[in-house]
């Protein structure tokens, strides 16, 4: 675990270096640039930076408890002290890029130090405490008879899969998110997911019990077998920690030895939506798609769990693992860093090397699409049979992950929306036409400059991810209230950490697609992926996408368990009370708002109606 597979790594390095070997821009073109605050600064006694986002949270105190009891005593003491306080649980290297996780001040870390704005969640008299849960990562109980495992909430996905296997159980395929370093508490609280249309597809789906500490410091055990317990579990799964801090979780797992056949399918995308529906029906509900509309292609990873007695048709690799997030060698990181910076700086395609940069961008995009998704040591697996427990989560890449700003100089910016699967045809059409319309002007600039069709423009390196889920009874989960399967669409594209005074070139497209998703498709953004702007749209209020009775139930439970609202982050309050965003200088550049006036944009940019959907500005 965590040990890089050198041969495979070298192959990937070659792949990326070959594609972008001429990545150096003009000498001196941007040598004065300094990295954003998120690149240059490190966590200190009061500040936490998100590892995959330009976000920092400041609080008066960071604590690192080792037990439920300790958290309970902390809450009791804070209550007894009498002064106002706020508490949020999270972890170092936390992956949320929004302020749900911030107990005290939250703000952007996008620009170099001193140029970022902060949002004060609390007034100066309020004491803010951030609880870091990494020491709470133990196995608490093992129920061999019922294949149940109880673990502490700070445990990572990778450690959970390992603990399941070493205790003679398997994790069902589809329920784990891909990144092995996410935590049980974070994943459950944000309703983070794997993939499975209409079937179990999030860790929350296999929760049978929770231990948690409420705002008064009471320790509560909730089990899905009784009526009170099931109500509490539904409030906590996908509940953004609004009732309390989850400290232990019991999962319903499978017997040892569960296997999954994995298959890699590559296709052109002219019938993408129809293909998706067909494949879900005829192959497996557990599919992950990588889609590049501009390259006209998609790649599908099919996960087919084997039932006892099924004979696998693909070779068995007991050490087969998911490899989507490969650790990257330094040379590749530096090349991507330089490319992303120069490509972003060439914002209007008028620089000395726009042709080279666009060609590199297309090559790099293709290289990312070609990264193998599964491996067994040095062997790349396309079609194979591997243990279910490791089919979905990718092995640890830290500290060489492709989204780690301080290593890559760039990061993946994710924006995810949950919509109804039955909307897939319209949505795919919208994505294609928005991209076409929004990029037309840029393509014309390149055509005029270099000759018609000479330089092809590509989206930033990255891809759209399509995954699937089922409706749920959890009150605030992104799947809440849906009676049919859902589609999770993630726009996951790279952004430079060294040209942050400019928006990523994909951002105007994202802004239109996000507003379209929120307003036309009544979509729900991912609590652990999206930026503040998606939760605070000025007119398409997220709260209104939930059944009102869910909100009423949640608020009633909160009155009981957190009457002083000590767990309520400022962003949650905005979302529940239908407030718009925090408008301010360059709020759009910092992903806090969708612009309303020019001052919300980066210097030199105007807030204009978008080409494709004029009602949405970008
Ligand atoms: C590389 C990468 C890959 C990812 N892949 C996926 C994926 O495949 N599928 C997917 O759905 N998501 C994915 N995510 C997003 C991820 O699920 C979220 O970022 C999520 O926030 C989990 O991250 P975390 O464990 O670091 O929790 P944090 O970011 O620390 O916490 C998330 C939220 O939950 C709250 N919280 C945390 N712990 C507790 C607790 N014990 N009790 C109460 N509240 C708590 C926090 O305050 C915060 O608001 C990915 C993220 C990255 C960086
Ligand atoms: C997970 O992330 C944390 C924080 O970035 C890091 O300290 C830790 O080493 C990672 N875990 C593993 C297993 O690499
Ligand atoms: C994997 O299996 C699928 C389905 O059987 C097939 O379509 C595909 O071509 C196979 N891929 C490889 C690389 O063998």
Buried b (16+ CB within 10 A) or exposed e, 527-548: bbbbbbbbbbbeebbbeebbee
pLDDT digits (tens, 9 = 90+) for 436-449: 999 999 999 999 99
Q: What does the pLDDT read at residue 249?
A: 98
Give the residue among 36, 173, 58 at the shortest CA–CA distance from 111.
36
Residues with a CB atom less than 6 Å from ligand 1: 52, 88-91, 94-96, 100-101, 133, 153, 177-179, 182-183, 185-187, 189-190, 192-193, 240-241, 245-246, 403, 528-529
Q: What does the pLDDT read at residue 3?
A: 40
Across the chain, mean pLDDT equals 93
| Contact 312 CB / ligand 3 (< 6 Å) | no
Nearest atom within ligand 1 for CA of residue 97? 19
pLDDT digits (tens, 9 = 90+) for 284-339: 999 999 999 999 999 999 999 999 889 999 999 999 999 998 888 888 889 999 99
Ligand 3 centroid–CA 263 distance in Å is 6
Domain ranges of the chain: 42-132
Ligand 3 centroid–CA 373 distance in Å is 14
Rounded Cα–Cα distance for residues 188 and 170 (Å) = 19
* pTM of the shown model: 0.96
- Using the predicted structure, report yes or no on whether residue 150 has a pLDDT greater than 50: yes
Ligand 3 centroid–CA 195 distance in Å is 20
Nearest atom within ligand 2 for CA of residue 398? 14
Q: Which of 49, 86, 91, 96 to mutate to test the pocket of ligand 1 (most atoms within 8 A of CB)?
A: 96
3 state DSSP class of 548: helix
Ligand 2 centroid–CA 398 distance in Å is 6
Rounded Cα–Cα distance for residues 604 and 502 (Å) = 9
Rounded Cα–Cα distance for residues 117 and 123 (Å) = 16
| Contact 450 CB / ligand 3 (< 6 Å) | no
Number of the ligand closest to the Cα of 467 = 1
**Cβ-proximal residues to 173 (8 Å cutoff; 6+ apart), any chain:** 194, 196, 258, 260, 286, 303, 305, 388, 391, 392
pLDDT digits (tens, 9 = 90+) for 553-594: 999 999 999 999 999 999 999 999 999 999 999 999 999 999
| Contact 399 CB / ligand 2 (< 6 Å) | no
Which stretches of 2-147 are assigned E, i.e. beta strand?
47-49, 55-58, 61-63, 85-90, 105-108, 118-119, 127-132, 139-143
Give the residue among 492, 495, 482, 584 at the shortest CA–CA distance from 533.
584
SS (H, E, C) 301-360: EEEEECCCCCCCCCCECCCCEECCCCCCCHHHHHHHHHHHHHHHHCCCCCCCCHHHHHHH
Query: Which residues make beta-bridge pairs with 449?
Result: none
- Give 500-545 as a DSSP string: TTS--TTHHHHHHHHHHHHHHS--EE-TTTS-HHHH--SSS-GGGG
Ligand 1 centroid–CA 90 distance in Å is 9
pLDDT digits (tens, 9 = 90+) for 21-72: 444 444 334 456 789 999 999 999 999 999 888 999 999 999 999 999 999 9
């Amino acid at each position: 675990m965590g040990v890089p597979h050198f041969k495979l790594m070298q192959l990937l390095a070659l792949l990326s270096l070959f594609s972008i070997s001429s990545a150096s821009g003009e000498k001196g073109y941007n040598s004065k640039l300094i990295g954003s605050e998120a690149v240059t600064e490190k966590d200190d006694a009061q500040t936490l930076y998100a590892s995959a986002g330009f976000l920092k949270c400041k609080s008066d105190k960071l604590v690192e408890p080792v037990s439920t009891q300790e958290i309970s005593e902390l809450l009791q003491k804070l209550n007894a002290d009498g002064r106002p306080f706020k508490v949020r649980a999270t972890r170092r290297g936390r992956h949320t890029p929004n302020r749900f996780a911030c107990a005290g001040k939250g703000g952007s870390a996008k620009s170099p130090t001193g140029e970022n704005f902060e949002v004060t969640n609390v007034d100066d008299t309020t004491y803010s405490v951030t609880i870091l849960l990494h020491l709470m990562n133990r196995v608490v109980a093992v129920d061999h008879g019922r294949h149940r495992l109880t673990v502490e909430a700070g445990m990572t996905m990778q450690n959970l899969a390992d603990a399941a296997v070493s205790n003679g159980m398997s994790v069902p395929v589809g329920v784990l998110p891909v990144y092995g370093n996410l935590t049980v508490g974070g994943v459950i609280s944000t309703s983070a997911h794997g993939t499975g249309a209409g079937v179990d597809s999030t860790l929350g789906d296999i929760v049978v019990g929770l231990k948690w500490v409420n705002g008064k410091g009471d320790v509560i055990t909730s089990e899905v077998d009784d009526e009170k317990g099931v109500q509490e579990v539904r409030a906590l799964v996908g509940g953004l920690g609004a009732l309390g801090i989850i400290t232990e979780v019991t999962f319903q797992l499978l017997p040892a030895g569960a296997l999954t056949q994995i298959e890699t399918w590559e296709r052109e995308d002219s019938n993408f939506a129809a293909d998706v529906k067909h494949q879900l029906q005829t192959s497996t509900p557990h599919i992950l798609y990588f889609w590049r509309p501009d390259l006209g292609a998609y790649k599908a990873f099919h996960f087919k769990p084997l039932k006892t007695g099924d004979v696998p048709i693909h070779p068995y690799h007991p050490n087969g693992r998911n490899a989507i997030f490969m650790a990257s060698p330094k040379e590749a990181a530096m090349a991507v860093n330089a490319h992303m910076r120069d490509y972003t700086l060439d914002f209007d395609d008028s620089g000395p090397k726009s042709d080279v940069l666009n060609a590199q961008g297309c090559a790099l995009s293709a290289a990312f699409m070609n990264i193998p998704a599964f491996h067994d040591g040095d062997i790349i697996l396309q079609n194979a049979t591997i243990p279910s427990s490791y089919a979905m989560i990718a092995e640890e890449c830290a500290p060489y992950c492709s989204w780690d700003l301080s290593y890559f100089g760039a990061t993946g910016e994710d924006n995810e929306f949950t919509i109804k699967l039955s909307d897939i045809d319209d949505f795919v059409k919208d994505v294609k036409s928005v991209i076409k319309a929004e990029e037309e002007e840029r393509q014309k600039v390149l055509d005029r400059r270099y000759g018609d069709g000479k330089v092809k423009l590509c989206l930033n390196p990255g891809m759209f991810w399509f995954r699937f889920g089922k409706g749920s009874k959890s009150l605030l989960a992104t799947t809440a209230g849906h009676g049919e399967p859902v589609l999770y669409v993630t726009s996951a594209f790279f952004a430079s950490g060294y040209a942050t005074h400019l928006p990523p070139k994909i951002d105007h497209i994202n802004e239109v697609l996000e507003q379209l998703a929120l307003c036309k498709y009544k979509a729900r953004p991912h609590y652990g992926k999206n930026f503040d702007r998606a939760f605070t749209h000025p007119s398409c209020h997220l709260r209104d996408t939930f059944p009102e009775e869910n909100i009423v139930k949640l608020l009633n439970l909160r009155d009981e368990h957190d009457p002083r609202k000590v767990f309520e982050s400022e962003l949650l309050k905005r979302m529940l009370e239908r407030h718009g965003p925090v408008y301010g200088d360059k709020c759009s550049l910092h992903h806090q708002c969708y612009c309303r006036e020019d001052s919300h944009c980066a210097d030199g940019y105007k807030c204009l109606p978008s080409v494709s959907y004029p009602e949405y500005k970008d």
